[in-house]
Structure 1
Amino acid sequence: MRVTQMNAADATEGLLGLFGGLPRPVISHPRRTSVEIHDCLRRLILDGLLPPGTELKQAELARVFDVSRTPLREAFRMLQEEGLIDADINHRGRVTGLDVADLDCLYAARISLEAMGVRITAGRLTRREAQETSAHLHDMDRAEETGDAMAWHEAHRAFHRMLVCRCTPTVLRTITSYAERSERYLRTLQDRHPGVFPQRRQEHYDLFAAVMAGAPDQAVQLITRHLARTARRVIDDLAPGRAALDVGQATVMVCGEDLGTAAVESWTPAPKGVHT
């Protein structure tokens, strides 16, 4: 018994060291325990504070967070669904690394779904929705100016969601899930190439203008190029020379052009006609 207690104490001390200085979940209500643990761990992974390869054990986290293992199991399940950890039957999780094949397929799915989403949303935003979408754009600008990455990503997710808000709730949940799973790759791009974000800012404004103007063909072209550029840049960093075959198939299907093998800077400009 003494050995078991010593091992548990040593393990907990190690995990306390890992989480020393890192934010821990603040449980606002017992029914939200698993959600708030998930949100906390997800944020730490996306921010790089729990890097790839970090081992997480449910029993140890339960002691550190002072919760039962039941909400830990649910939080691990959600993290695994998002591709952020690999979990095994021994209730251990390991933070996953960046996977080029996953990125390629994930962005291909996003291109297909979000192209449909902007097409059916273009010209159909209510006045209040248009104001909300514009506010998200300005929130992104302010966050970029102040260097607040967390605020930028929150506003960015909300902005993209508004562009496809005429989808049914089921489809919208799928789009949101894929967008959340791809956020780590977007953060990689942001960290390695901060200079691309002034260009991204204009792409966001052009997307908003096309949706507001009721120009579905242009909105589809813009969202396709916008997402494919992100995928191609990250793949070029992680696996130079590798073609984004899935992205290419998606862009052929959506707009008749293979953007999976084209050099990022050599693509033809997106269609003109709608200006901010």
Structure 2
Amino acid sequence: MELKRLQLNNHRNYAHLDLAPGPGVNVFVGANGQGKTNLLEAVAMLALSSSPRARRDLELLGPVTPAARIHAEVESAGRGLEVTITLHGEGERVRRVIEVDGVRRRGFDLPGHFRVTLFWPDDLGLVKAGPEQRRRFLNQMLVQIEPGYARNLAALRRVLEQRNSLLKRIAAGEEAAGVLEAWNAELVAYGSEIAGARARAVEQLRPYAAESHAEIAAGEQLEITYVGPPENFEDAVEKSLSDDLRRGSTTIGPHHDDLLIQLDGRD
């Protein structure tokens, strides 16, 4: 896969950019705050459909207009593609429009058309930060290589939003607990697909991670382990109901998974 051309309009600090990368490796050099990371972020968005670092799309809009555009010409699997992401600011909200060769696509349909490998200072959070950062790492990898993963992830987020809303209504006496059955089934179905994909990916990464670490830290043994939902996921969801009602949120599922990183058996 090759990035042939990148155009940015009002993306963060770029009022306008029209870049045609050279063949092979391209190196971007500049002082702090000039936009090197913003440029890489835009490329990553073409692969992931959303920013890997912004909490809200509103952060991506530059000062020129309440809209931003990222457009790229890429070569993938021997054919050319044009990918465009347009952000329309509407007050405190941002509407995202994604197009591939001029055809509108949903966010979970974009990953896989163009793939990237990300590495920047924030990745130190894989070790230093909490589980959310490690789940994000797995998600950013898997949406690009695992068919259906992005769709399952979007579905799981919808299920959690609906289930958590119902938990609050049940706790307030506004709904009966029976309304959760359908959402529990979807939580288990989508959650199992996501957990399975993560477990397979970590199992494949395990020997490469250990070998790479051994090359730079002789004598230390690195081990990575996926910590997913309980083995009997369905029973665990049912047994967690009282705790879920008390907290007003879903306490069992892949949204609480982690990637355990150990050196010589120590976390």
- Pairwise same-fold verdict (TM > 0.5): no
TM normalised by structure 1 equals 0.27
Q: Which has the higher helix share?
A: 1
Using CA pairs below 8 Å that are at least 6 residues apart, which structure has the higher relative contact order? Answer: 1
TM normalised by structure 2 equals 0.28
